[in-house]
Structure 1
């Protein structure tokens, strides 16, 4: 017959506390409690106490109505205790119910573990729905979340975990975004503008997913710059003023807006401009939901570089005659990515140059991938293995800092040569060649 651990309706509480609840029998109640918690019958086997005190021996004698054995240890058959409780009418339901009346409900550990596992599995369901309905590209990420216990580490219990998973799903459903600041994303997704601040549980879940989408490792976001870049790959900026794009001689759109006038003045003066994410809000074609715009840049190639020194030199040497140029200033900001999308929407093609190091190849891969997703031509601009070997042959460059090599899908041989020569060739080393290309854009 199954034991009823929680039955107490017929328990004579006062007599039970005097008999079994005495301090000198606490060890016996502890043994029975442990058996129940371990999933064993309360009345099976014997409870033994080493080196009992005289008071503990007398307490057992009062309980059983006979003296215990006189060995150095004290042994009590639990079935005898069960019989005493039933026969005396103190607890007709027996020993398990009596201990439950003394100690309260006793959780069976394996049942608790199974219940917790089921609750945590259920807590992940919002993420399951997100991956199935909208983000199949996060399937591997969700598997890692489950196997590494990431959700459990960020939540205090399954209920808190389920709420955190729902919030994570709401944020990820909005990503990648064509351009939004992090506090606004947090407020729109979960109603708390600070929910995605660094160090918050929601941020840990979302950032791990963003890294997965961007093909980044945890080490890539160990510092603030790495996290900024990761957010930028998903279209999220820290704010709309610090996210910026450095441009030079970008043709203004035909519509009348603030930036049209600013871009036109920049061309006339031959001066570079810094566009903030806030500025770009006035431009059509900078979001994925914008209507189709006039493809007025069809047939025009925009040169894209990594370092501001190239733009500065181009402005000094070529001024208003320089063809359109954009500088990413390292890892592309949300504003820079949004500017590239705006130019793609206007029909422009790209050519890209950056530093010959693993950071540079990562940035280049992102630019080429962006163009490929948009169906826009993008080519390397003196950024292939032939250009790298030419620079090495001329004695340019400095030792490459140890880092994980990056694939170079636009030129698979480039990865091999950078790894082999272990030299970093910065854009400043070859700036004269880049300026010569800009001076003769038809070449």
Structure 2
């Protein structure tokens, strides 16, 4: 039945319709369909033509789709899964449990050897499987649920206690969700992070990332690596590569939706060595085992289709996807306000007054400034010389050589020698 729609290349369940005046989208999952467009009359015609050929029921404005509740207000579109949470608590017989304000205990880490084996692991697997679907609207659960999934093959009593803690947290926050607000900017920004050798059993790393479209959080991921990383830079750069791949997919999707941005996506990383490696054109013996990720990311950076920048650890949003945080509330405050890079603390250094704005808005103190300069030095070497002067340049290069030489695999040493010459 010709309706003028074509299948999107980035998502086989999405169908697009574009003319000079009308734009429409159809999102299909089995027998559930969402219609979107800028012309109500055109959408009515499409629904009418489909009803002539298929038994189709029009449910009106979007309010419920695949367990996700959608509600509109003057503030934007709010997505939640409160009814799904209530059903899950009843299934686990936890509807009257004592609420907790965090999904993960900060006092201990889980191991496969903790506790006694469960006599019937069915309930554990059933509940954890259901929790995975809940992360669609609850990004703060991604790390806790991913960690619980790692013990599906042999859950123990300790693992079940950890899962019950997640449920008790849901008992405390059944109505939390995601808010999508209108945004003046449609630029993509991403944060990536890694917890090097964080697993006590096999010392594999956990990686995570989150992506914002304007001010709205649109994608996130928490995952344990399949191989052991030999250095923190390796694990951080693997996280960078995963986030870069997701950004490429989003760029492709937005292109098909005919949404463009004049600025390339920005990927924020709190590892200075990994940040510099993305722009360094020289290979080293210590980076040969991650050359595929290096080439993939460097190609995007060289084409100026991706900008990688340093962000201080205390402003790293992706931390919540890789490790246990003491204050989960900081994640909500950061993701809701998006003010983490608008701080302009007075640091009392004359040199700071001459720092370009694109470096200054990320700095908390002079040490962070030094790291930022080293991280973006490949592109700003003349600018750095201009506002730093020889003495300041020598001082901060020496500091960074001492702090980051071992981790960066020699990259900073070469950089320092180049600048000092």
Q: Same fold (TM over 0.5)?
A: no
More strand by share: 2
More helix by share: 1
Which has the higher relative contact order, 1 or 2, with Cα contacts under 8 A spaced 6 or more apart?
A: 2
